[in-house]
Amino acid sequence: MGATMKDIAKRTGLGLATISSYLNGGNVREKNRIKIEEAIEELHFEVNEVARGLKTNRTKTIGIVIPELNNIFFAEIITETEDILRNHGYATMICDCRSDEKREEEAEEFLFHRRVDGLILMPTGNGEKGIQRFLRAGKPVVLIDRKMERTDCDCVLVDNEGAAEEAVERLFAAGHRKIGIIAGPDNIYTAKERLSGYRKAFRGKGLTPEEELIARGDYTIAGGARAMRELMEKNKEMTAVFISNYEMTVGAMMELNDLGVSVPEELSVIGFDNEDFAKALRPRLSIVTQPSGEIARCAAELLLGRLEREPARETGTAESGNSEEERPETVILKTGFVEGRSVKYL
Amino acid sequence: MGATMKDIAKRTGLGLATISSYLNGGNVREKNRIKIEEAIEELHFEVNEVARGLKTNRTKTIGIVIPELNNIFFAEIITETEDILRNHGYATMICDCRSDEKREEEAEEFLFHRRVDGLILMPTGNGEKGIQRFLRAGKPVVLIDRKMERTDCDCVLVDNEGAAEEAVERLFAAGHRKIGIIAGPDNIYTAKERLSGYRKAFRGKGLTPEEELIARGDYTIAGGARAMRELMEKNKEMTAVFISNYEMTVGAMMELNDLGVSVPEELSVIGFDNEDFAKALRPRLSIVTQPSGEIARCAAELLLGRLEREPARETGTAESGNSEEERPETVILKTGFVEGRSVKYL
DNA sequence: ATGAAAGCGCTAACAA
DNA sequence: TTGTTAGCGCTTTCAT
């Protein structure tokens, strides 16, 4: 089932090359063009991209590995990326690794076997093995959200440290001093940076935060709830909290609900990400926002750029061609802040 | 770059068929097995699934077309589906068509050209053209969330009408009579069903809802907000509202915030989907929930079932083989209800 | 158990 | 401009 170019050739009495030429926008005599188009119509011919991919060694497919699809921040990035890539003729294969390092590596292997032309990765683990495989094959890799020290590829980040610092500074500016933080797991890049920004804000005031004010969440809703409870129990004098990712923000707000703590009267709160959620809360939550669209555009641009520049270089020769252009780039984007009514001015 | 089976054959002195046999779990003399494994190791050989797909006419890839990836309900289904499929060796190509019929059809064409083995579709439009293309080629299609009258393929739905009816009945049971609804666009299957359930609940009480109590949203956050405002303006006596999808629930709650309406004192509310959101609100929101995991499992199961049953039937012969098994199935799943504190007992 | 050879549907020289 | 031909990397008869 499914007509092939050969069928079209036979039907029109033309050669394979002519059909191929037509299909790829080459010059074909008007008369033949019409014949070909008729044949295509009648035989319901549709190009087989798989065969094309085998021949050209380019599948026009990009792999995306993501910790959780079921996470609005990542999902937003993916949507936009997929859109851009598809507009450039690229399909995307998405693998959700459920924040599991092993599954992440399996996904990379899986995608490599399917010969995707490039990889967009929001890393869960620190394993470079999967990435190196791509790099060695001359396939571009773009990291999103998290940096990996030793790996040589493009990278799109936001200024996590600055974002956290600014958020905490706002709390200071509102007169707060006993400011808690719900931090993330310390093996995650963004979590480290955000905690570091929190500390930096204290340092800027010549202060050092008490250790009890720092609660560890695990970037999940449940973890955020747990951390908030812990914070409330250990810090009777705490007047404000900064929550360092979206899921934990949801969890923390749930917990405050359960505890019957009123915001901002009894506790001021600044959360993270997802404007829609923030606006639906009462009172509206002040949050740090990340530019997901811009992140997606940057990542897609970096990837497409390399894809067009290096025409599937077959040889893995160490010598780099166009020196400047080939160097990995790191783009750092600014975060935003959306003011709600969850911070009380003391 | 990248070793091929031919390289392994040369290296080991064996024939291509033997390597292929080894790779596909066939029987190979112990001695040769070791040789092959060594060669694979040294040459960094990795199977080329593209070539395999061309030969076998099965890409082991499933296409998914979805209205909005950036929508928690769909995203949850996708995550689970992708997981199951990948565990069965299938990759998934996801296309977000942004609730646009034209883009939906483009996506279907796009995926067909890439020769995906099957399609999971959460339809936006009513165009059957894209689907027919798959069906004609003997490729299974599973519809999720929305039925299409004239199309002959498997389908996984929830009991939308029943869910809405039950929700409204609960409001009746709490003593409400002036119950509004934020309905969805009437060209969307689920929206029609849910509105119908609302009407049915009234009928069950021997009543008919006033038309002013029915506001049209468009299944978006902004639309939900708009509809809620409209409802509040037109119905001064309204004591309760049922909101018929998640995005509109978020929007409606935002609007109630802005209007300073307190829930449930001034207005009782039942929303839709997303337990996490519902629990983070104050007071907790009562909601109808959909079994996204189960939907995903059903869809994957139906698809994999057909994929295994019909071994890429080449011929498009009209006669159906195993009569019973081939008939399209429609699965209708039950919705759930999570009780919050957003309904006042009058 | 293994090898030889044909071919999946396409592209890309090279000729004509 | 068009036709011929040789693969891309794999699976799959059919022999051996």
What DSSP string runs through A333-346? EPPEEE--S-----
Cross-chain Cβ contact A70/B68 below 8 Å: no
Task: Round to the nearest angstrom and report the end-to-end CA distance of chain B.
Answer: 74
B303 or B136: whose pLDDT is higher? Answer: B303
Q: Which residue is nearest to nucleotide C3 (CA to C1')?
A: B15
Chain A residues closer than 8 Å to B282 by CB: 257, 281-282
Average pLDDT over residues B319-338: 77
pLDDT at B115 over 90: yes
Q: Please give the helix or strand (H or E) that residue A101 lies within, else none.
A: helix A101-113
Nucleotides in chain D with any atom closer than 7 Å to protein CB: 1-14
Across-strand partners of A181? A214, A242
Helix (H, G, I), strand (E, B) or coil at A62: strand
Query: Structure tokens of B291?
Result: 């079994």
Asked whether residue B208's C-beta has any atom of DNA/RNA strand C within 7 A, the reply is no
CB contact under 8 A, B82 and A94: yes
Q: What is the pLDDT of residue A323?
A: 40
* List of domains in chain A: 5-47 (no CATH), 59-158+292-333 (3.40.50.2300), 160-289 (3.40.50.2300)
Q: What is the pLDDT of residue A71?
A: 86
Residue A83 to residue B98, Cβ atoms within 8 A: yes
Strand C and B34 CB separated by under 7 Å: no
* B29: CB within 7 A of chain C nucleic strand: yes
Please state whether strand C lies within 7 Å of residue A312 at its CB atom: no
Give the distance, in angstroms, between residue A107 CA and nucleotide D12 C1'.
29
Residue with CA nearest C1' of nucleotide D6: A55
> Is the distance between the Cβ of B173 and the closest atom of strand D smaller than 7 Å?
no
Q: Report the gap between the CA of A38 and the closest CA in chain B (Å).
A: 19
Q: Which of A125-129, A242-246, B67-71, B129-133 has the lowest mean pLDDT?
A: A125-129
* pLDDT more than 90, % of chain B: 79
Q: Is the preceding peptide bond at B185 cis, omega within 30 degrees of 0?
A: no
How close A207 comes to chain B (CA, Å)?
33
Q: What's chain B's average pLDDT? A: 91
Residue type, B81: T
Which nucleotide lies nearest residue B54, CA to C1'? Answer: C8
Residues of A in contact with B114 (CB under 8 A): 49-50, 61, 91
Q: For residues B69 and B306, give the distance between their C-alpha atoms in angstroms, rounded to a whole number.
A: 26
CB neighbourhood size of B320 (10 A): 10
User: What does the pLDDT average to over B27-45?
Assistant: 92
For residue A27, count other CB atoms closer than 10 A to its CB. 8
- Contact residues, chain B, for A72 at CB < 8 Å: 70, 72, 75
Question: Letter for the amino acid at A291?
Answer: P
Chain B environment of A225 (Cβ under 8 Å): none
Task: Please give chain A's pLDDT, 346 residues, in tens.
Answer: 689 999 999 999 999 989 999 999 888 898 899 999 999 999 999 999 999 999 999 999 999 999 999 888 999 999 999 999 999 999 999 999 999 999 999 999 999 999 999 999 999 888 888 899 899 889 999 999 988 877 789 999 999 999 999 999 999 999 999 999 999 999 899 999 999 999 999 999 999 999 999 999 999 888 999 999 999 999 999 999 999 999 999 999 989 988 989 999 999 999 999 998 898 888 999 999 999 999 999 999 999 999 987 654 443 333 344 444 578 999 999 999 999 999 999 8
Q: How confident is the model at residue B320 (pLDDT cuts 50, 70, 90)?
A: very low
Distance from CA of B297 to the nearest CA of A (A): 16
Report how far residue A93's alpha carbon sits from residue A111's, in angstroms, rounded to the nearest whole number.
8
Q: What is the pLDDT of residue B311?
A: 53
Those residues whose C-beta lies under 8 Å from the C-beta of residue B2, and which sit 6 or more positions away, are: A137, B44, B45, B46, B48
Check B83 against A96: CB less than 8 A apart: yes
3-state secondary structure chain B: CCCCHHHHHHHHCCCHHHHHHHHCCCCCCHHHHHHHHHHHHHHCCCCCHHHHHHHHCCCCEEEEEECCCCCHHHHHHHHHHHHHHHHCCCEEEEEECCCCHHHHHHHHHHHHHCCCCEEEECCCCCCCHHHHHHHHCCCCEEEECCCCCCCCCEEEEECHHHHHHHHHHHHHHCCCCCEEEEECCCCCHHHHHHHHHHHHHHHHCCCCCCHHHEEECCCCHHHHHHHHHHHHHHCCCCCEEEECCHHHHHHHHHHHHHHCCCCCCCCEEEEECCHHHHHHCCCCCEEEECCHHHHHHHHHHHHHHHHHHCCCCCCCCCCCCCHHHHCCCEEEECCEEECCCCCCCC
Q: Whose C1' is closest to the CA of A54: which nucleotide? A: D8
CA A346 from centroid of its chain's CA atoms: 38
Of the candidates A53, A54, A70, which has its C-beta nearest B75's C-beta? A70
Side-chain-side CA neighbours of residue B136 (13 Å): 13
